[in-house]
């Protein structure tokens, strides 16, 4: 038998043996659209060091630093928490030499690639009619709603705080007439 004929027969034998046997290496099937894993989008807004002033009852406030890592301004328009039936975004402003607390019109705007400080004596998240005592170390859940309809959730920790003359109790001047 010639070398060419033998090579041809070997090639035919190899081809035919591959038709009926199991493949030696698994070839992955194309992924269906439901199986495609895409990374979660980066959050539009985060909050650094969130905390809530401890209180036995009445009102309290949440603080921290809102951080925007996007290329567009982000606006927080409202908030919610299981701790309080009513939450408002507040600011403290000078009104004819008197510092008053009032709802922040338009919410909190966090500039693109910037931050916005929530602090005693300044902008803060106001919780009214809290439903349980906030003790040091308590874990308080929050959801902030953004102007674009998105939401951001976070957990704030209860902390004792005695500065700034904030008592966040009913009857305090909140700029309401």
Q: What CATH code is carried by the domain that includes residue 102?
A: 2.60.40.1890
In a domain, 168, yes or no: no
The answer as to whether 170 is a domain residue is no
Structural domain contains residue 91: yes
70 occurs within a structural domain: yes
Q: Is residue 108 assigned to a domain?
A: yes
Domain total in the chain: 1
Q: Which domain holds residue 56?
A: 45-160
Tell me, yes or no, whether 147 lies in a domain: yes
Tokens encoding 86: 């009513």
Inside any domain, residue 82: yes
List strand residue ranges (DSSP E) for the chain, in order. Answer: 45-53, 60-68, 74-80, 86-95, 98-103, 108-110, 115-118, 124-128, 139-146, 151-159
Reading the chain (177 residues) residue by residue, the pLDDT tens digits are 554 555 455 444 444 444 444 445 555 555 555 556 655 555 689 999 999 999 999 999 999 999 999 999 999 999 999 999 999 999 999 888 888 999 999 999 999 999 999 999 999 999 999 999 999 999 999 999 999 999 999 999 999 997 655 544 444 444 444
């Amino acid at each position: 038998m010639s070398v060419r004929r033998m090579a041809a027969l070997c090639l035919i034998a190899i081809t035919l043996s591959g038709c009926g046997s199991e493949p030696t290496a698994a070839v992955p099937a194309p992924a269906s659209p439901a199986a495609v894993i895409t990374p979660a989008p980066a959050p539009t807004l985060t909050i650094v060091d969130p905390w809530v002033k401890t209180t036995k009852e009445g009102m309290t406030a949440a603080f921290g630093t809102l951080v925007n890592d996007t290329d567009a301004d982000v606006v927080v328009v409202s908030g919610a928490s299981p701790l309080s039936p009513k939450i408002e975004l507040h600011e403290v402003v000078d009104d004819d030499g008197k510092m008053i607390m009032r709802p922040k019109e338009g919410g909190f705007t966090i500039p693109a690639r910037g931050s916005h400080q929530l602090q005693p004596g300044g902008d803060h998240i106001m919780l009214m009619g809290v439903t349980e005592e906030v003790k040091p170390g308590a874990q308080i859940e929050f959801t902030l709603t953004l102007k674009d309809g998105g939401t951001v959730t976070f957990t704030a920790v209860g902390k004792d705080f005695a500065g700034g003359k904030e008592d966040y109790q009913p009857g305090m001047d909140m700029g309401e007439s």
